[in-house]
Amino acid sequence: MRIVLVHYHLRPGGVTQVILHQAEALREAGEEVLVLSGEAPPLAESWEGIPVTVIPGLHYDRYRPSADTTDTAESDSKRRAASLDLAKALEAAISSRWPSSGGTVLVHVHNPLIRKNSLLAGALKALAGTFPLLLQNHDLAEDFRPDVYTGCQYPENCHYAVINSRDYRFLLEAGLKPEGLHLLPNEVGTLAVTPGLPKTRYLYPVRGIRRKNIGEALLLSLYLPKADTNGKVTITQPPTTEQDVPAYRRWKETAAELRLRSEFEAGVGVSFAAVMGSAKAVITTSVKEGFGFSFLEPWTAGITVTGRRIDYVCRDFEEAGLKFDSLYRSINIPAACTEPEKLRKKAEFALSRVYAAFGLPLPPNVPAEVDRAFGSGSFFDFGIMDEELQEKVLRLTAGDKTIREQIRRANPFLENLANWQPDPRAAEANREAVLASYSRKKILVLLLETYRQTLKSVTQTISRRKLLERYLDPARLSLVGMSESNTVSARELS
């Protein structure tokens, strides 16, 4: 079989790592592979032996000077023509790689449903009659991300793949068929760790983007185990996107002002293996993930994962045999330490803005649901607050021992954290479970079976309205990372 892997770019990151693993595994299995990208990989040595062809039309719109994303009839006509040109460029690259017609060519596209390239949806529709298509989704715009919501109907009568069971269930409910939708988790490799380093860090190995909930990681620094007098909560990398930089900079300034046991950018100019080698544990406080590498990878190096649980991610891993005894579902903050009415108003405003950006009226039940989740009760989860309210709580907690103890008593996880020590036997059991279910060998079997199924024709379409209804649950709203860019209007739902 001849496999074409397609993505907007190959810059370091989660999706790029998935594509590289797939390409390597397929090549090792004797399959022919071609990677098409909007730009050459910056780390070319990682792609040695894997053919990569650059198609400039695949790049993000903002990096294509000729991109026209306005909505006039004239620009729509130009976009359709440009989409056909992109389809021809993709087809030409495939023909150049394999001039003969011997063998089936399957096109596997990563993350095509988010609006990063306004030409891709049209190009895929043009290619659908020529090649079997598998559209693998790592993120979905319907999940509170109207700023990347495409105005086009999603490609019909092709196969889809997702990386967690929640997205699988939602897409089935939105119209896809079991024979045309595939659950395709990611390969998890064994982390390399530099041995012999002091274990002083509670490491958060991420870029400090807003949805990673950096304020909560700093709150945890106030409750580190008593025995770890030198322990620090450590963020490894700064954000690279403009919308994330101000919040990150504010957290750095606040941490310095409050003299929190924390450090930032510990991974800059240092090998990842060395940074991981200094970790007593890996923490995660993220409020949203697609696959959830952070819940799996550390165990392969014998490092415990602790922090905030994301149910829809962790349930899949628990089905694979992992146990997450060091995770919490919420950090309950007493109402007296928050501003409940401000929180409720912020939530209602955010939801009204999101629905409007998707072109939907606010459902009549939403205000009541917001009141239940955000407007009443004795405690509020720190993770649902925005950065403004989180900073207020952090300052109160850092400055008042009575409040700090009150929050500790309200949260069993924080009570237990005072005397926490890693459990080597539990870490080894989770390591074995990760390697058994997410090894290259296991994922390759799933990938090849998915390709065999993709060769079969299927008649199906996605109802975007039904998909929105599944994701836009007020009870799932977290104000962390909610951006003014969500005011970008979406086109009318078709």
Integer Cα distance of 398 and 400 in angstroms: 6
Per-residue pLDDT of the chain (494 residues; tens, 9 = 90+): 899 999 999 988 889 999 999 999 999 999 999 999 999 998 888 899 999 999 999 999 877 656 555 555 557 788 889 999 999 999 999 999 999 767 899 999 999 999 999 999 999 999 998 999 999 999 999 999 998 998 788 999 999 999 999 999 999 999 999 999 999 999 999 999 999 999 999 999 999 999 999 999 999 999 999 888 899 999 999 998 888 999 999 999 999 999 999 999 999 999 999 999 999 999 999 999 999 999 999 999 999 999 999 999 999 999 999 999 999 999 999 999 999 999 999 999 999 999 999 988 888 888 888 888 776 788 999 999 999 999 999 999 999 999 999 999 999 999 999 999 999 999 999 999 999 999 999 999 999 999 999 999 999 999 999 999 999 988 889 999 775 444 333 333 33
The single-letter DSSP state of residue 251 is: H
In this predicted model, what pLDDT tens digit does every residue of 78-91 receive, in sequence order? Answer: 888 999 999 999 99
In this predicted model, what pLDDT tens digit does every residue of 20-64 receive, in sequence order? Answer: 999 999 999 999 999 999 999 988 888 999 999 999 999 998 776
Integer Cα distance of 354 and 357 in angstroms: 5
pTM strictly above 0.75: yes
